[in-house]
Structure 1
Amino acid sequence: MTVSQFPENGGERPWTNADTLARLRSCVRKDPVLAALPLEEIDWIVERGSVRQLDAGDAIHSKHAPSDSLYRVLSGAVRISSVSAEGREAIFNYYGRDEWFGQIGLIDGGPRTHDIRACGPCVLLTLARRDVEALLGRRPALYREFALLLCAVIRYSFALVEDHALLSLSARLAKHLVTLVDAYGADHPAGRMIDLHLPQEDLSMLLGSSRQTMNRKLAEWSRLGWIKVQYSQIVVVNREALVQLYE
């Protein structure tokens, strides 16, 4: 296993070289995808894995790059996006702590479908493609686990298309905030904070709206007491009020 220095991330205990091996082994043993593996396979993964620190904006891989690795988020979060030839960026989703990504290229062998960058400081477990293929060769039942992860991505993609076609911007924004706080929520005195570095510009790209429109809507909901908007962070105060906008 290769390691680097690790940052503080939110309220989490920082990863350090002294305890990385033990913490990584614990994470892998508890992972739903890998939990059924015998301990010798867990140790094999830990030995061959690379644990990396990334800062906000650091590139993990780019669209059309070879699919040479599989990743698991150990701390922090990453964002999935794509940039047009004119430089316009669209954000599609985020992956947070304990989530895997890179399985599309792992299964079909094709190039990367999107750009992925660190969304604030994060720590990743990286497994080389050759090692994942060797593991799958010994444990083919794992194909089903990674296929289920891919099914979740497909379901999410269909839901995005449906929401864009059928829901108003207010409804889509409310649904995204609820989805994000349910997935990445952290306790906050006022409610639940979306524990992502989430500038309003990024949120507008995520929903295909202008920043000005997004700012007005967030300001309106803040006045109503449904949310609190802080620098690059949103606290959901009244989840039920948001849910009523799209159900």
Structure 2
Amino acid sequence: MNSALTTANIRDILTRGNWFSGLNDHLQQQLFKLGKQIKLQSGERLFSRGDQPCGLYAVLSGNIRITGTGINGKEAILTLVEAPQWFGEIALFDNQARTHDAMAESSCLLWNIPQNKLTDLLYQHPEYWQDFGKLLTHKLRLAFQLIEDVALLPALPRLARRLLIMGEESDPGNICLSIPQEVLGSMLGISRQTTNQILKELEQKGIIRLARSQIEILDPARLQQIAGNMLSA
């Protein structure tokens, strides 16, 4: 999906997401009214660590890679953001520089609400701060869970949990994740060889299906059993 989308297309995509679908009608309408489409080619940078805030983004198609780079130049892949997920909300709250790099992992379309338009909206409707706070705290809960997983879980349940988290806003009957195995392994801090071995075992059990740079979750319930109890606090 590389061409510009109609308003109806955008609404259909965004309302699949848990956060956006939970907003009241007025706020949804404002985010449509104030937003604009941005097209990126694979490998094109959206923003870099240290850049000034440029607003809030939602992925309409493709995916965005969020990374950090150490002083030795080594890149750490934190996550891949897919449709219909939102990102960039940290800078909305503190108006500080971007904390990480964001780059198109594949050709993608984004929906962007510029920073100044968002702050004007929130000045007029301060009651909406709580809605954006929910977006931020959801990410914070996931971050705590992932830190705990790295410290306490073996590779298999850690990988299972990450797949479930990535697929939580997908159609339950069609959970297909666009992610190369080496990227998934980097996100989890495990080797590509170990990642491939675990995925092959899950495929042999009929829990997932592997394709080129894609992972389809066939049996979420069994994957959940492997992952154990997800953090709900």
State TM-score, norm by structure 2: 0.83
Gaps of 5+ in 1: 1-5, 8-13
The one of 94, 109, 115 aligned to 1:108: 94
The one of 198, 202, 210 aligned to 1:221: 202
Q: Is 2:16 the counterpart of 1:35?
A: no
Partner residue of 2:123?
137
Structure 1 residue 107, shift from structure 2 partner: 0.6
Q: Is 2:191 the counterpart of 1:202?
A: no
Partner residue of 2:231?
none
User: What is the alpha-carbon distance in structure 2 between the residues aligned to residue 34 and residue 76 of structure 1?
Assistant: 24
Q: Would the aligned equivalents of 1:227 and 1:235 in 2 still touch at CA under 8 Å?
A: yes
CA deviations on 1:51-77 (whole Å, 9 max, x unpaired) are: 111233322111121112221223333
Structure 1 residue 98, shift from structure 2 partner: 3.1
Partner residue of 1:239?
220
User: What is the alpha-carbon distance in structure 1 between the residues aligned to residue 139 and residue 169 of structure 2?
Assistant: 14
Gaps of 5+ in 2: 229-233
Q: Would the aligned equivalents of 1:193 and 1:236 in 2 still touch at CA under 8 Å?
A: yes
Q: State the 4+ residue runs in structure 1 displaced beyond 4 angstroms.
A: 21-30, 45-48
Q: Would the aligned equivalents of 1:80 and 1:116 in 2 still touch at CA under 8 Å?
A: yes
Larger radius of gyration: 1
* Larger relative contact order (CA 8 Å, sep ≥ 6): 2
Q: Is 2:53 the counterpart of 1:53?
A: no
Compute the RMSD of aligned alpha carbons: 2.7
Q: Secondary structure at the match of 1:182?
A: coil
Q: 1:137 to 1:194 in 2, by over 3 A?
A: same
Q: Would the aligned equivalents of 1:33 and 1:142 in 2 still touch at CA under 8 Å?
A: no
Q: 1:178 to 1:68 in 2, by over 3 A?
A: closer
